[in-house]
Amino acid sequence: MTHQTETTEDKKGPGIWSAIAYFAGVAALVAGIWLIDDPRGPDPTLDAASESTTTTTVAEVEVNTPTVIPGDEPIADAAEVILPSVVRIETPSGVGSGVIYDRDGLIMTAAHVVEGHDTVRVRFADGTQVDGNVLGGVTEVDIAVIEVDRTGLPAAEFTRDKPRVGQTAIAVGSPWGLSSTVTAGIISAVDQTANCSLGGCASLVQTDAAINPGNSGGALVDRFGRVVGINVSIFSSSGANDGVGFAVPSDIALDYAESIVSGEPIETAFLGVSGGEFNEEGRAGALVNAVTPDTAAEEVGIEVGDVIIFFDGVEIQSLFDLSAQVRAHRPGDTVQLILLRDGEEIALEVTLGVKPEELN
């Protein structure tokens, strides 16, 4: 299964700096991988509306399972913990992966793995197979939830702690349809801006653990076997692993999965600014060219000409970075912005809102 890329125009030449391949997986025979021209995609407006499907209310999820203390083979120890919790997901269009996050039948995956399907086939680590119902998905963050009629499943443990750059990272899934496959590397970056599309970008965990088509929806875990992210995409000039893979951070994945399960309305945050790039006197940031009326930005007094340089502690070097950080939050979250105005730094606390109806 391939996924629609960040632009609708394909380029296949070697001059591409870095093409991104969304990778739900492969069908019976390996299909071609879509490539794109610009990995950053179109100019973001920072405020893409959320598009999602939610059905069925399920009981509160459980995400706690014991961890182990790594020994002489920490990767093997972590793999032993997580492998029973990772499943293979089959659809008429390909193969992907998923992670059991509730013992009573809830499985998290990437939204593009199940996009366009109401039911899928789920294969567990012990080889048993069942049909699963797609409860819903949020395309902007690429997270979806599947429900199966099983109880007592080996649920993975998720950690909401941000991983450290350089720490061990282990990816588990079904690359090229090969179930229960483990690869290892490190966390290459956190808060990395990527997958720009639909008027916004995503803030993702980057890893050099080998990720290929079919890994989508699988687990990225630490050395304790705790899930730190859900694998969703790669940058690649070849269509396969180039050592630059991306995962949705586990805290974001959990928040959206819980909203899908509960059936509550799902919206991404909205700041209310648009603009361009700023790079003067060695400082980079997001230059505000317009402030949308009746939004969080107007309420706290952000002005045209301001340059946003930090968003809740994350350095902002471009409009794409700002878009990614806004999208990583939910309406009602309060964040701190640091901006430049007339050469002076100003700190503002902003409670993010929702996109005005008239802009939808």
- Surface-to-core class of residue 37, CB atoms within 10 Å of its CB (0-12 exposed, 13-18 middle, 19+ buried): middle
pLDDT at 49: 33
Residue 98 has pLDDT above 70, yes or no: yes
Q: Check 47, 102, 104, 142 and give the catalytic one.
A: 142
Give the model confidence (pLDDT) of 351-360 as tens digits: 999 988 777 6
Q: Can you say how many angstroms the Cα of residue 139 is from the centroid of all Cα atoms in its chain?
A: 9
Encoded amino acid at 204, one letter = L
pTM of the complete model:
0.79
Q: Check 112, 191, 203, 250 and give the catalytic one.
A: 112
Task: Using the structure block, give the residue that is written with the tokens 């996050």.
Answer: 101
Average pLDDT on 168-189 reads 96
User: What is the chain's alpha carbon radius of gyration, rounded to the nearest angstrom?
Assistant: 20
Mean pLDDT is lowest, of 70-79, 155-164, 177-186, 211-220, for 70-79
Query: Coil, helix or strand for 7?
Result: coil
Catalytic residue check, 112: yes
What the chain holds in terms of domains, given with CATH numbers, is: 52-262 (2.40.10.120), 273-359 (2.30.42.10)
pLDDT at 100: 98
Q: Check 52, 85, 203, 216 and give the catalytic one.
A: 216
Give the model confidence (pLDDT) of 179-199 as tens digits: 999 999 999 999 999 988 655
The answer to whether the beta carbons of residues 278 and 234 sit under 8 Å apart is no
Query: Coil, helix or strand for 274?
Result: strand
The answer to whether the beta carbons of residues 222 and 228 sit under 8 Å apart is yes
